Amino acid sequence: MRAVVQRVKKGSVSIEEKVVSSIGPGLVILLGVGEGDTEADAIWLAEKIANLRIFPDAEDKLNLSLLNIGGEALVVSQFTLYGDCRHGRRPSFSEAALPDLASKLYKAFSCELKTKRVPVATGIFQANMLVEIANDGPVTLLLDTDKL
């Protein structure tokens, strides 16, 4: 699994000009599922992200996690994180999981964050969405379970 994690002041997902999900301070997580990913990857990644110390403390040091600040998470499925652009001009998505597996693991990841007491909002799987992100910092990280 791959995740682009962005610390935000707020974030939202709209479909056909209607907001379907939104959060205040927390993280927007763009989540890609690869063909070999498992539920164990979803669990590990949710644990990692919930506890990432990427929020400032009173001394402005990155010492606080999403759990520490009581922040929210907006999880958006994004198969294009598995786009391979090494050859030609059109990305290949052959390493992305098929929709059935991707949907299952997207839901598993979101549920695992909820078990950590993180309020979770989601996009709509396979929908064409407008994602608005008010990146704070900016702080943006890339996590990949294949690089453990």
Total domain count, the chain: 1
Q: Is 79 noted as a catalytic residue in this protein?
A: yes
- DSSP symbols for the chain: -EEEEEEEEEEEEEETTEEEEEESSEEEEEEE-BTT--HHHHHHHHHHHHH---EE-TTS-EEE-HHHHT-EEEEEE-GGGG-B-SSSSS-B-TTBPPHHHHHHHHHHHHHHHHHTT--EEE--TT---EEEEEEEEEEEEEEEGGG-
CATH number of the domain bearing residue 121: 3.50.80.10
Q: Is 78 noted as a catalytic residue in this protein?
A: yes
Domain, as residue range, for 20: 2-147
Task: Please pick, among 78, 109, 122, 145, the residue that the annotation labels catalytic.
Answer: 78
Average pLDDT over residues 60-69: 98
**Total-model pTM:** 0.96
**pLDDT tens track for 114-142:** 999 999 999 999 999 999 999 999 999 99
**pLDDT tens track for 4-50:** 999 999 999 999 999 999 999 999 999 999 999 999 999 999 999 99
Average pLDDT over residues 52-59: 98
Rg, the chain, Cα only: 15
